[in-house]
Amino acid sequence: MPARLEITLKPNLFDAEGAAICRKANDYFGFDLESVRTVSILTIDIDLTADQLELIRTEIFTNPVTRISSYKPLAIDFDSVLWVGYRPGVRDNPGSTATEAVEDLLRIRLKPHEAIYTSKRYCLKGGNLSFDDAGRIARELLANDIIQQYKVFSKKDWHPETGIGIIIPKVRLDHKPTVTVIPIHSDEALMRVSKERDLALNPNDVSTIRAYFLREDVLAERRAFGLSAPTDVELEYISQARSDHCNHNTFKGLFRYRDLATGKTEIVNDLFETCIEAPTLAVQKQKPWVISVLWDNAGVGRLNDDYHYVITGETHNSPSNMEAYGGAITGIVGVYRDPMGTGKGSRLIMGMYGYCAGPRDYQGGLKPHLHPKRLLDGVIEGVRDGGNKSGIPTPFGQVWFHEGYLGKCLVFVTAIGLMPSQIKGEAAEKKTTSPNDLIVMCGGRVGKDGIHGVTAASESFSADTPAGHVQIGDPYTQKKMHDFLLEARDHGLIAFITDNGGGGLSSSIGESARFSNGCVVELEKVPLKYEGLDQWEIWVSESQERMTVAIKPEHEEQFMALSKKHAVESTIIGHYTDSGKLRITYDGRTCAYVDIDLLSSQFPQWTFEAEWTPPEMRGLFEPVLAGPDDASGLLLDLFSRPNICSKEWIIRQYDHEVQGTSVIKPLVGKDRDVISDAVVIRPVLESPEGLAAAQALLPTYSQIDTYHMAACTIDEAVRRVVAVGGDPDRIGGVDNFCWPTIQYDPIDNPDGKYKAAQLVRANRALRDVCTVYEIPLLSGKDSMYIDGHLKGRYGETHKVSALPTLQFSCTSVISDITRCVTMDSKFAGDLVYVLGETRNELGASEYYEHFGYVGLRVPELRLESSMKLYRALSRAIQEDLVASCHGIYRGGLGVHLALVAMGGGLGMDIDLSLVPRVEVEENHVILYSETPGRFIVTVDPKHRLAFESIMDGFPHACVGTVSSGLDLVINGLEDEPVIQVPVSELKAAWKQPFGQLI
């Protein structure tokens, strides 16, 4: 007989969770609730005696100081009650930890059908809410019906004895696992099956697949194992591996690029090879610190003689768009498995985030699945729990608001790990599988969750996108596995390791078996969450928190003992061979038998038509705009714009100190509340080396030209790490492309050719900048299909495409952390320098956007001169000549001078006529042009000569001083007063939009 335990805070205690719901209900819907009391519910579906139930109630689940609990519904006053619980099969993390504790305390083992399920009850008071209003809070604030179910009770439907009832969300699959053979008598027949089964096969691949399975020699080999036409296990495997998500077909495609201005057509063959791989390999030849790139789950760079760092970046857009919290936590926890699965494994030392969403206060007519406010809140919380509970600092991040992301939001997650350079005398970054090595699956179990996630990420969002791929990451299970695998690594037990992400076992085993050239997998050995999964589902399920490890047979005992000590489940599910074949069996019967190299050969290249229409031909022009009279008021208003203003509320939710490595924090300055250019950690506590990291996003420039969007984005990320003391010669990059669909279709994607050309141009910028700046791309990912189909005010449907977006991440090693600098001005009387030239480049600037303009003159990077300037600046920082250093980014000089002043809590006197510039003769252009390649530096007057001698030959000028006054004072080209405003007022304006959020 299941029992239901209700637990709540004592009535006199403040219910912070309830208060947060009141706040959000007001913020989202304008409801004026008096109070919300939250009740945690455990539905205990275990055969326990009354004494046992009482023991777990008092010993585990009820803190006597703060809580009350009862197996009967708690009597709490309410006007309406909401209940929210998980749907069957959704990961219930607290349910499983409750189970662990009950087993521990009672010294019992649960039977397979027994479990504990958690849910919540909310008791709402006040606000004169109707039944429908209450339902709206449940539906639009508390529950997401993709993963949760809810009930609403008014006073009259509530029975004090039965309460919410006994709800057991157990998965019941009355299904015998079955392998299905797929007929392939024609391309059409196979395409039909692909549609029915949601395989998302590319029509171009279908004939290649058929040709393989119809080959005489293949048929003969297969017959020996009782196989003929392909099984569903095989086709699912091929479909996963051929998906754009896993195979990067778009980047490896053939582009026919036509410039409509010149009429010239060029063939661009394989963007990956020409713009990413070739430049990176060339840089690697020059820079011995580049240890391992372009083949593993993440790239590896040298930190010092004894350690390497490991970095990669991912996106998790589609799942987050549907279930923000679940998608985001799964994203961050998932990207952390990449460094864990790089080389022989690394320890996670830092995470970073980037969110692109619709305006938080969006009130337009489009109806996204989740309102941007709710979506962003969920994403923020997902990354918070994923990062904090993993014990990994998340010190750097960024947010970009734009209506284009209403169709699909972007969630970038970046992970950095650390590995010793040697493990038992072997290079840590190397790994391989050999015949007879055992295939071990470690971590979580396999369920139906996450099936077809990869193929869904390769499609744009529509009403019938399967929801099954939304999951809830479990950082707790993964943290245990992380600790275990590191110990196993240090004992030399890991021959090969990779994560189970997109495509699940099919991808991790399929890829690792290429090293030994074959494998045999016994699918029935894979531990399941519940019975009834078909073989193909076990093979491609993306259930989280799993790694695939190859171990030598002689290490089995030691590996399994360590696994047990760490309370991690590990199971041997097969072995590697050199047969040239991937063979899968279930209870001894073969259900897949294909060539291991099938996927790396024979498939046709994707092709794209690309047409570039230059901005002038698209009708873009410079607005006719003269400078403002109230320049101070304008600056204050710019500071309150969503893409400029403070996002301290997000930063403080993320642990940026754990591991004790923090050197430069995300928030710096006198009051520790101004955003740093970059962060620095000391990855090895015993050593003085630092690792600087930062990211940049400038999607708005894509409105004019994606070449300059990409160039400026990369330059910003570079300047960010240089500004805190990063070494310009040891910068590593990670590119994350998010692009709308580029395949032309006259009806569905009429501007596809233009979007394809935008992609080519952005890649060329990537190639050009990385070549000149000598930046290896340590890692990178692309996520296409950033489009959504949204209902409008009248029920009509709009396709909404995001701006082509590149997030660029930079790392740099700092040999001595004590040389790092922050961006806040330090002392009155210090000289304020501007480095780099300002040009008339207001196109797509924050300033123009404020007035609703796009303009034409997009900021352009002067490649050759910029890096030389950065090297000089770096030398000045190394020689301790710089008191503060800050890049000039979005918003231009005016915004960033003010930020330096805000950081120092000191005034500043500036003369615009002194600012180094080219063809700019208007104050507002100097103040708000977003020309890249520039810095603001403050210098102790004592160091003037030394600093200027280093800067000799580079555009630089002392433009004013840090003052002891309270105001930012800026005089114009004619020495006329332009801006005078208290720094505190600027800071207040900057904090105002999100300042009340916690």
Partner 1 sequence: MVDYFHMTRSETQNRSVHVLVLTGYGLNCDYETAYAFELAGAVSTRVHINALISGETSLKDYDILVLDGGFSWGDDHGAGVLEAVRLKSNIGEAIFQFIGEGKLILGICNGFQALVNLGFLPGFDGDYRTRHVALTFNDCGNFRDDWVPLLGNPDSSCVFTKGVGRIELPIRHGEGKFYASAEVIKRLIDNGQAVFQYATRKGEPAQGQFPFNPNGSVHDIAGICDPTGRVFGLMPHPEAFNHWTNHPDWTRMKESMKRQGQSIHPELTAGVRILKNGVDYIRENRLAV
**Of residues 19 and 366, the one with the C-beta less far from partner 1:** 19
Q: Which two tokens stand for residue 375?
A: 């979506």
Q: Is 130 in the site for partner 1 (CB under 8 A)?
A: no
CB atoms within 10 A of CB 511: 18
Taking the C-alpha atoms of residue 3 and residue 146, their distance in angstroms, rounded to an integer, is 26
Total residues at the site for partner 1 (CB under 8 A)? 74
Burial class (CB in 10 A: 0-12, 13-18, 19+), 938: buried
Q: Does residue 64 bind partner 1 (CB under 8 A)?
A: yes
* Pick 533 or 817: Cβ nearer partner 1: 817
- Give the number of residues written for the chain: 998
CB of 29 to partner 1, least distance (A): 18
Q: Residue 962: what residue type?
A: V
Residue 908 CA to residue 532 CA, distance in Å, equals 70
Residue with tokens 């019941």: 172
Nearer to partner 1, 748 or 880 (CB): 880
To partner 1, the closest distance from the beta carbon of 989 in angstroms equals 20
The identity of residue 477, as a single letter, is T
Between residues 281 and 828, which has the closer beta carbon with respect to partner 1? Answer: 828
Stretch that binds partner 1, among 90-98, 462-470, 509-517, 574-582 (CB under 8 A): 90-98
145 part of the interface to partner 1, by CB under 8 A: no
Q: Is 14 left (phi over 0), alpha (psi -120 to 50) or beta?
A: beta
Among 658, 828, 863, 946, contact with partner 1 (rule: CB under 8 A): 658
Give me the phi and psi of 94, to 5 degrees please.
Answer: -65, -30
Residues in region 798-817 near partner 1 by CB under 8 A: 817
| Among 707, 720, 713, 623, residue whose Cα is nearest residue 668 | 720
Minimum separation from the CB atom of position 658 to partner 1 (A): 6
Site for partner 1 in 334-393 (CB under 8 A): 384, 388-392
b or e along 738-771 (b: 16 or more beta carbons within 10 Å of the residue's beta carbon)? bbbbbbbeeeebebbbbbbbbbbbbbbbbbbbbb
Site for partner 1 in 389-408 (CB under 8 A): 389-392
Least distance from C-beta 725 to partner 1, angstroms? 10
DSSP-H helix ranges across 491-568:
504-516, 535-540, 556-565
Query: For partner 1, what does the binding mask look like between residues 541 and 580, x meaning CB under 8 A?
Result: ------------------------xxx-------------
Residues 893-952 that bind partner 1 (CB under 8 A): 940
Q: Is 583 in the site for partner 1 (CB under 8 A)?
A: no
What is the distance between the alpha carbons of residues 769 and 412, in angstroms, rounded to a whole number? 22
To the nearest whole angstrom, how small is the minimum distance from the Cβ of residue 19 to partner 1? 6
State which residue, 264 or 942, has the beta carbon closest to partner 1: 942
C-alpha 116/C-alpha 121 separation (Å) is: 16
Q: What DSSP string describes 667-702? A: EETTTT-EE-S-EEE-SSTTS--EEEEEEEE-GGGG
Give the residue, chosen from 65, 75, 624, 747, that forms a contact with partner 1 under the rule CB under 8 A.
65
Q: Give the span between the Cα atoms of 651 and 667, in whole angstroms.
A: 8
User: Which of residues 479 and 583 has its CB atom nearest to partner 1 in the complex?
Assistant: 479
The first and second tokens of residue 481, run together, are: 């596995």
Q: Does 420 bind partner 1 (CB under 8 A)?
A: no
- Told to check if 661 binds partner 1 by CB under 8 A, we report yes
Cα dist from 856 to 614, 650, 669, 751, 859, whole Å: 10, 34, 36, 20, 9
Q: Which 454-493 residues touch partner 1, going by CB under 8 A?
A: 474-476, 479-480, 483
SS3 254: strand
284 versus 304: smaller Cβ distance to partner 1: 304
Cβ at position 368, least distance to partner 1 in Å: 25
If one asks whether residue 820 binds partner 1 (CB under 8 A), the answer comes out as: yes
Q: Return the residue of 662, 815, 840, 913 that touches partner 1, per CB under 8 A.
A: 662
Q: Which of residues 19-58 bind partner 1 (CB under 8 A)?
A: 19-20, 23, 40
- Contacting residue, 68, 101, 914, 946, with partner 1 by CB under 8 A: 101
Q: Which residues, 6+ apart, have CB-to-CB distance to 53 below 8 Å? A: 3, 5, 44, 71
Per DSSP, the three-state class of 828 is: coil
Contact between 840 and partner 1 by CB under 8 A: the answer reads no
- C-alpha separations of 908 from 639, 825, 833, 911, 991 in Å: 17, 9, 12, 10, 20
Query: Within 598-657, which residues bind partner 1 (CB under 8 A)?
Result: 651-657
CA distance 503 to 330: 15
Per CB under 8 A, 864 contacts partner 1: no
Q: Which is nearer to partner 1, 765 or 901 (CB)?
A: 901
Minimum CB distance to partner 1, residue 815 (Å): 14
CB of 655 to partner 1, least distance (A): 5
Q: Which of residues 105-124 bind partner 1 (CB under 8 A)?
A: 105, 107
Q: Does 98 bind partner 1 (CB under 8 A)?
A: yes
Q: Which is nearer to partner 1, 179 or 693 (CB)?
A: 693
Site track 247-286 with partner 1 (rule: CB under 8 A), x = hit:
----------------------------------------
In angstroms, rounded to a whole number, what is the distance separating the alpha carbons of residues 725 and 88? Answer: 51
682 interacts with partner 1 by CB under 8 A: yes
Within 867-886, the residues that bind partner 1 by CB under 8 A are 880, 883
Q: Which of 93, 613, 771, 878 binds partner 1 (CB under 8 A)?
A: 93
